[in-house]
Structure 1
């Protein structure tokens, strides 16, 4: 009942302001004001305001927001703890020895592959440079 009175009063006041604005020959502003003034009445007529009022005034809804906030707090705390563990160990692997690939006995990981890629890339660029010089570019 109270929401009906409030929405009717807001709509009436808004439409009154729109009429006064239209009398000053500011029709675009008056139309915009009338559109804003009709929103509360439309929300009231569709029943959305009753749904929102029921949503806001129910204690179970607020308890649900509390549970969601607790969940977000726990998630944040776990991320902070994980980052501190990573910073303390210097590695983001849970078991650093288990994350290393097994190469078998006598084989060692080498950094030759990135060096080979760099030299191969340099040869590719020299070929491209030669082609561009050939065509005068």
Structure 2
């Protein structure tokens, strides 16, 4: 009975404040304030508020909340364990004499080395020699 009265008084005060805000032509803010001020009366009328108050002072309910939290923690740990196990190297890559595996995906072989010889195989500054030749050809 007392909680219902307190919730009603809170809602009336919030609705009065929203009317004052609406007089200043801030209608969106007044509507949000009215919506928030109706929450305590709604909770009291549905009985959820009594449930929340009873649960707040009940130690068995808090143990139940702890058990639910532990269950969620176990579930998340299991998902992370599956994710880590999925990143293990495949058995085909562990065999001696098997082709190397690229980082693009499991089971896709790496590209073989090209037939370049000498300075071109080393890469680095020689890759720019083609670009330099094109620029010289165009007079740049």
Normalising by structure 2, report the TM-score.
Answer: 0.50
Provide the rounded CA distance (Å) in 2 between the counterparts of 1:118 and 1:26. Answer: 65
With a CA cutoff of 8 Å and minimum separation of 6, indicate the structure with the bigger relative contact order. Answer: 1
The structural deviation recorded for 1:26 is: 1.8
Q: How does 1:33-112 map to 2 (within 5 A)?
A: 33-67=33-67, 109-112=95-98
- Bigger mean CA deviation after superposition, 51-60 or 34-43: 51-60
**Would you say 1:114 and 2:100 are equivalent positions?**
yes
Determine if the alignment matches structure 1 residue 11 to structure 2 residue 11: yes
C-alpha distance in structure 1 between counterparts of 2:110 and 2:28, whole Å:
65
Q: TM-score, normalised by structure 1?
A: 0.51
Quote how far apart the aligned CAs of 1:15 are. Answer: 0.7
Structure with the largest fraction of helix: 1
Unaligned runs of 5+ in 1: 76-91, 93-100, 102-108, 124-137
- What is the root-mean-square deviation in Å for CA atoms of aligned residues? 3.5
Q: Which residue number in structure 2 is paired with residue 29 of structure 1?
A: 29
Unmatched segments (≥5 aa) in structure 2: 75-84, 86-90, 102-108, 116-140
Q: Measure the CA separation in 1 of the matches of 2:17 and 2:38.
A: 12
Distance of aligned partners of 1:121 and 1:48 in 2 relative to their CA distance in 1, 3 Å threshold:
farther
How big is each residue's C-alpha offset from its partner over 1:70-100, in whole Å with a ceiling of 9 and x where there is no partner? x58xx7xxxxxxxxxxxxxxxx9xxxxxxxx
